[in-house]
Structure 1
Amino acid sequence: MPCAKPPLPTTTLRQARQLRSGQTEAEARLWYHLRAGRFNGLKLRRQHPLPPYIADFCCVEGRLVIELDGSQHSPEGDAARTRYLQSQGWQVLRFRDNDVLGRTDAVLEAIWNLVSGADPLPNPSPGGRGA
């Protein structure tokens, strides 16, 4: 018999719902491209609880977390969050809000490169490095 997950604390669920209804402009823009399988069929969730955190975007099947960092974020706090999520087996991609708003295609390409296993930087020499 499969092991059932323990229920999330009510406050965590409430906070996740509040974050979904009060999304930032950058979150709304990225969610437009990621929602409903629009991103090459990839299933993502927004404001998904991963206690003790709530991930901005999460692909459970791919163990991927996408975080958007605005002016309210601190580098120390973000680094601690990333370390924790990685220790739990999640890959973490972080983008600045300004990048999502000004370079949406580049952000989507970076996400796709990670989930598809593509080399993030194309190799210009046909024989490999330095050939």
Structure 2
Amino acid sequence: MPSSESSHETARRLRREQTVAEKILWRHLRGRQLCNIKFRRQFPIGQYFIDFCSIERRLIIELDGGQHADRFADDEVRTTYLTSRGYRGLRFWNDQVLASADQVVADNEKFLSTHSPES
């Protein structure tokens, strides 16, 4: 597991180097705009860096580019680890955000409204 200092530096670098899709979605998530929930960008959990994370709701939102089509097994290991830590996750393709960010935001709102913090 990376040291805390290197983890913070990696998170900072990932925030500086966001994809276009991440920038678009972050505009909708920052400042408690989505259901008054605080999200963090490139949040470290164990050895993984989560695109967007709500600690209070134990929710992860991941955006995947084309490289994830070939990394299914790695993504499954990651998902299993995060689930074991009490997190639930939503995944979207970058193309979904680029084509229809409003629909991705609506999907997130629907999920949040139908899943209480305790469930």
TM-score (norm 2): 0.87
Q: 2 CA distance for matches of 1:40 and 1:34?
A: 9
**1:91-126 Cα distance to aligned partner (Å, 9 max, x none):** 0111100011112122111111111117xxxxxxxx
1:64 aligns with 2:21: no
**1:16-56 Cα distance to aligned partner (Å, 9 max, x none):** 00000000000000000110112231111110111111100
1:72 Cα offset (Å): 2.6
Which residue, out of 99, 104, 107, partners 1:102? 99
Higher relative contact order (CA 8 A, sep 6+): 2
Over 4 Å off, 4+ runs: none
TM-score (norm 1): 0.80
Higher normalized helix content (fraction of residues):
2
1:9 Cα offset (Å): 1.9
| Structure whose alpha-carbon radius of gyration is higher | 1
| Aligned partner of residue 61 in structure 2, secondary structure | strand
Structure 1 window deviating more from structure 2 (90-99 vs 73-82): it is 73-82
Residue identity in the other structure for 1:33: H
1:81 aligns with 2:71: no
Structure 2: 5+ residue stretches without partners: none
